[in-house]
Amino acid sequence: DGGITQSPKYLFRKEGQNVTLSCEQNLNHDAMYWYRQDPGQGLRLIYYSQIVNDFQKGDIAEGYSVSREKKESFPLTVTSAQKNPTAFYLCASSIQHRDYGYTFGSGTRLTVV
């Protein structure tokens, strides 16, 4: 079955540590996205990529980094510069065309300990 796989499901980060969240898709979608979800707020876009080896900052990119070396993979690194990283992180993908909708992964919950 085609879909998006995010791992791990739960992740704990110590102060000052970088962590990487994995996102893999087998849908042959060109575009991939990372969103952050906090309680009581709408999803906020961190980074997106419309093509391999290219990505753009979203609304809240500070303290995060991404890479897009393969079409199938779009990992997100939460760096120590992100001062409040505790949140639910969602990865999504879409065909490179408006009006075709988005497919989401099941999310990674990151907690600072």
Partner 1 sequence: KQEVTQIPAALSVPEGENLVLNCSFTDSAIYNLQWFRQDPGKGLTSLLLIQSSQREQTSGRLNASLDKSSGRSTLYIAASQPGDSATYLCAVEIGDSNYQLIWGAGTKLIIKP
Is the Cβ of residue 16 or residue 97 nearer to partner 1 in the bound state?
Answer: 97
Q: Judged by CB under 8 A, does residue 93 bind partner 1?
A: no
The stretch near partner 1 (CB under 8 A) out of 12-20, 66-74, 78-86, 89-97 is 89-97
Is 18 or 100 the residue whose CB approaches partner 1 more closely?
A: 100
* Near partner 1 by CB under 8 A: residue from 65, 71, 79, 107: 107
Give the span between the Cα atoms of 93 and 101, in whole angstroms. 9
Where b means 16+ CB within 10 Å and e means fewer, 47-56 reads bbbeeeeebe
What φ, ψ does residue 37 adopt, rounded to 5°?
-125, 125
Q: Which of positions 23-62 make contact with partner 1 (CB under 8 A)?
A: 31, 33, 40-45, 48, 50, 56
Residue 101 interacts with partner 1 (CB under 8 A): yes or no: yes
Let me know how long the chain is: 113
Contact between 16 and partner 1 (CB under 8 A)? no
Q: Would you state the torsion angle of the CA atoms of residues 38, 44, 50, 52, taken in this order, to the nearest 10 degrees? A: -40
SS3 sequence of 46-60? EEEEEECCEEEECCC
Give contact residues for partner 1 (rule: CB under 8 A).
4, 6, 31, 33, 40-45, 48, 50, 56, 88, 90, 92, 94, 98-99, 101-107, 109
